[in-house]
């Protein structure tokens, strides 16, 4: 696109957004315009990144889980080095590290970012509103069993809870347990079972129905 | 890349301080003792990012803390754990 005199960057940027009114939103808009005018990147590149983020969905995470369920060697690599292992499937979370936490009969994992709302968007898509809420972020560290129960996950005392607070440069995904009775299922059929919440850890049992 | 100061299984204490800049240690974890669960890579120091590129980079460790140490009273079991990412300059070997 050439000839930037005839339109307003503020309007080309996600045109359905309302005009910013808060100081923070105006500062963000001004910063973005300066970066574009300074040639650091183009409005088109910015829109492409937004489109890529919005195009991601939990199906991506589901493909990784299904591969781990069907390929024990892949699962080993994934649990040791998530960042490099997902590249084998065409995913990339650089510059973040990526850590996959495996649910077992004895352990249930759940992910949170108490400081803001860090989330592996390239693998899970946009985060749900509750993941960003103060209620979830403050309570799931303080009383994880109560919060999980509200999601329908009632853990007995012989299952340990591990809460993972995503405070810095790591991103997380839970590896849910493979449901019984799926021994002969294809990788694609297995991937279709996996839900967003099971990858965050607010769901434990996957349904094969 | 500097060598990691801590290794998996060591008991470490998270510093209890509040620098007047953006930092990535939540209040609830400050001062607590945990065990190094995993040694991670080197990353930009968020406390220095406001004035530049966050260099020198700092190593990140995943630290595992018993939930019963963090919260009282805690509704759960002794096996429940919290795991959190902490930059090396926030850690000391626990006494």
Question: SS3 string of chain A?
Answer: CCCHHHCCHHHHCCCCCCCCCCHHHHHHHHHHHHHHHCCCCCHHHHHHHHHHHHHCCHHHHHHHHHHHHHCHHHHHHHHHCHHHHHHHHCCCCCCCEEEEEECCCCEEEEEECCCCCCCCHHHHCCCCHHHHCHHHHHHHHHCHHHHHHHCCCCCCCCCEEEEEECCCCEEEEEECCCCCCCCCCCHHHHHCCCCHHHHHCCCCCCCCC
Residues in chain A with CB shorter than 8 Å from the CB of B41 are 97, 169
Q: For residues A41 and A95, what is the distance between their CA atoms, to the nearest angstrom? A: 19
**For position A14, what pLDDT does the model report?**
61
Where are chain B's structural domains? 11-93
Q: What is the mean pLDDT of residues A108-123?
A: 94
Percent of chain A at pLDDT exceeding 90: 76
Question: Is there a contact between B26 and A170 if contact means CB atoms under 8 Å apart?
Answer: no
Res A47 pLDDT > 90: no
Q: What is the mean pLDDT of residues A163-186?
A: 96
Where are chain A's structural domains? 22-55, 57-200
- Contact B77/A at CB under 8 A: yes
Q: What is the mean pLDDT of residues A50-58?
A: 86
| Confidence grade of residue A122 (pLDDT, cut at 50, 70, 90) | confident
Angle between helix A58-70 and helix A72-80 axes, rounded to 10 deg: 120
**For position A16, what pLDDT does the model report?**
65
A201: left (phi over 0), alpha (psi -120 to 50) or beta: left
Q: What is the mean pLDDT of residues A178-206?
A: 97
Q: For residues A165 and A128, what is the distance between their CA atoms, to the nearest angstrom? A: 17
Contact A174, A166 (CB under 8 A): no
Res A17 pLDDT > 80: no
**For position A54, what pLDDT does the model report?**
83
| Confidence grade of residue A15 (pLDDT, cut at 50, 70, 90) | low
Q: Taking chain B (95 residues) in consecutive chunks of 10 residues, what is each chunk's mean pLDDT?
A: 93 97 96 98 92 92 98 96 98 95
Number of A to B CB contacts under 8 A, please give it.
Answer: 77
**For position A11, what pLDDT does the model report?**
46
Tell me which fold the domain B11-93 belongs to.
SH3 type barrels. (2.30.30)
Q: Which residue of A has its CA nearest to B27?
A: A115
CATH number for the domain formed by residue range(s) A57-200: 3.90.330.10
Q: Which of A157, A167, A169 sits opposite B26 (nearest CB)?
A: A167
CA dihedral A144, A200, A78, A51 (to 10 degrees): -150
Catalytic residue list of A: 113, 116-118
Instruction: Name the least confident of A7-11, A45-49, A177-181, B76-80.
Output: A7-11
Taking any CB pair shorter than 8 Å as contact, residues of chain A touching chain B are: 95, 97, 99, 114-115, 141-146, 157, 160-170
Q: For residues B30 and B46, what is the distance between their CA atoms, to the nearest angstrom? A: 17
Question: Is there a contact between A167 and B25 if contact means CB atoms under 8 Å apart?
Answer: yes
Closest approach of A89 to chain B, Cα-based (Å): 22
Res A1 pLDDT > 50: no
Res A9 pLDDT > 80: no
């Amino acid at each position: 696109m050439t000839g930037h005199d005839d339109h307003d960057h503020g309007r080309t940027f996600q045109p359905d957004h309302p005009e910013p009114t808060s100081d923070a939103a105006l500062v963000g808009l001004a910063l973005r315009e300066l970066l574009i005018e300074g040639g650091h990147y183009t409005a088109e590149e910015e829109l492409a990144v937004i489109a890529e983020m919005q195009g991601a969905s939990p199906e991506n995470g589901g493909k990784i889980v299904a591969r781990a369920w069907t390929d024990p060697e892949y699962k080993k690599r994934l649990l040791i080095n998530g960042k490099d292992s997902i590249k084998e499937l065409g995913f990339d979370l650089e510059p973040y590290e990526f850590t996959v936490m495996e649910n077992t009969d004895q352990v249930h994992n759940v992910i949170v970012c108490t400081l803001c709302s860090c989330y592996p968007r390239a693998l899970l898509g946009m985060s749900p509103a509750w993941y960003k809420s103060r209620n979830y972020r403050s309570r799931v560290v303080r009383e994880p069993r109560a919060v999980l129960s509200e999601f329908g996950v009632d853990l007995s005392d012989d299952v340990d809870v591990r809460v993972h607070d995503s405070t810095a440069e790591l991103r997380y995904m839970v590896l849910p347990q493979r449901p019984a009775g799926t021994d002969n299922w294809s990788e694609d059929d297995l991937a279709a079972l996996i839900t967003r919440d099971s990858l965050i850890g607010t769901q434990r049992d996957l349904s094969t129905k | 890349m500097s060598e990691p100061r801590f290794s998996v299984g060591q008991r470490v204490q998270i510093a209890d301080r509040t620098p007047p800049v953006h930092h990535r240690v939540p209040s609830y974890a400050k001062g607590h003792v945990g065990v190094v669960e995993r040694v991670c890579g080197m990353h930009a120091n968020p406390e220095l990012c406001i004035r530049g590129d966050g260099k020198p980079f700092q190593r990140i460790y995943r630290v595992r803390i018993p939930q019963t140490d963090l919260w009282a009273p805690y509704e759960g079991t002794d096996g429940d754990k919290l795991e959190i990412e902490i930059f090396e300059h926030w850690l000391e070997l626990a006494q």
